A and B are shown apart, each in its own frame.
Chain A
Amino acid sequence: MGRLKIKKVDEKSVEIELEGEDHSMANLIAKYALRNPHTKFAAYNVPHPLIANPIIQIVTDGTIHPLDLLEQVLKEILADIEKFKESVEKAFNEVSEKGS
């Protein structure tokens, strides 16, 4: 499963490779990075459709280190997925209460 590789990094931009991942995680990270106000550019591509190694590029406006931003993004995703899980659990509980 997924292995993170930092291919390039400087003060403003980072290029990471997700070994063994596919569009699911790459798209998730890129789109979440775009929501951050310090992001100037965030996108991903899959260099080869049969080899699952998407590359994500993030460029910041310089006020934040791109790896800090990436860390924030991953934490945001974790928080959101937790919220999502709770909402789904709540929805199922409501149904089972109605049913009984």
Chain B
Amino acid sequence: MKQGSHTTLHTARSVRIRSALVSAEIALSMALVTTACLMARSFLALTAVDPGFRPDHVLTFSVNLPGASYRDADRQRQFYGRAIDAVAALPGVQFAGLVSALPFSAAGGAGRALVSVEGEAPWGVEDAERHRVESLYASGNYFNALGIAVIDGRTFEPSEMTQQARVVIINQSMARRFFGRSSPLSRRLKTGLAESPSPWLTVVGVVRDSKRTALDDQVSPTFFRPYQASTGLRSAGFAIRSITDPESLTGAIRKALAALDREVAISDSQSMERRVSGSMASQRLRSIASALLALLAVAIVLAGLYGLLSYIVSQRITEFGLRIALGAQPADIFAMVLRQGLTLAFAGTVAGVALSIAASRFLGGLLFSIGATDPLTLFGAASGMFAITAAACAVPASKAHTDRPDARSQTGVGITNRRRIT
């Protein structure tokens, strides 16, 4: 009797410890599941972002001109002009465009400039941020090639593709910042201070905002000038819109450029779709990794909860037999065990929600378009977690009233019982 009492105490303590551990497991898993859900939703939101151009059927590559033979800016301009013409003449090519820095490319970023708008007060140190924009040099067909829509005005005309060109195309962000709701067409701006002798540039077009480095980036106010106006462009990016598979054009383009100058090689050739997809690689990896971790954690929780409840059921099988013998219904036994499991699941889930919220501050920088404490995600993850753990409880709970020893043989009470209740 004494020994039995000691064993019962020992078992009760053991069950309490295991229960606490299982609840902690559920809490941790809940945090991981929440993270995985947030990452997945963030990634899905990212894939739905409109880059502001049409990446399909676009081949992109970079050209780096050898320094020895292309030190002179005139030679650079001449080569680029001939290269654009040569590529545009290839079968399957719809538009061939050039830009000083390709979007979604590590080859080089856009230039920066402080600009002045005609009629505006000169900027100073205090309001420099408003005047800080990105600058790019491009050919007239660059916008057609990449599929950047012209919102207002036009792109560069062939006659404007000169070193003396005094025209500029701006994106929507720049139009909004400097001109508000009024039309920026025919307005003038310049790089540097208004009183500087640098030439005023007339706005001839407004193009749609387009992402430059990543889908989750903010679009900066940007202006484009004809590439011939650059004082030096040793490397440039090409965007080729094709009517066929864009990557199938690479060989022909290499040949066409080699025919112009064998020393000039193209690099980083890939479709724009591949570039855009590649820009999401880290988010995709994080999403998959967190999902795998969450799955693993849930599996461990299920095993732990199932194991614990099975252990509890095995320890109490005699008691259940007695209860049945004394008139308890199998459903009562099922409910009793299930309640015990669900109590653990509920406690773990609540703790998991708290843990998820506490851990959210580490996630903020990794998410796009969703808050780290997004209520819908938290509710969904908690509901899912609770449902899964409830299912894990149901199996041992059902065993509690189906697998039990014969009550009479265990207790000596003269009540017959079926071995297995169905």
The answer to whether A and B interact is: no
B residues near A (Cβ < 8 Å) are: none
A residues near B (Cβ < 8 Å) are: none
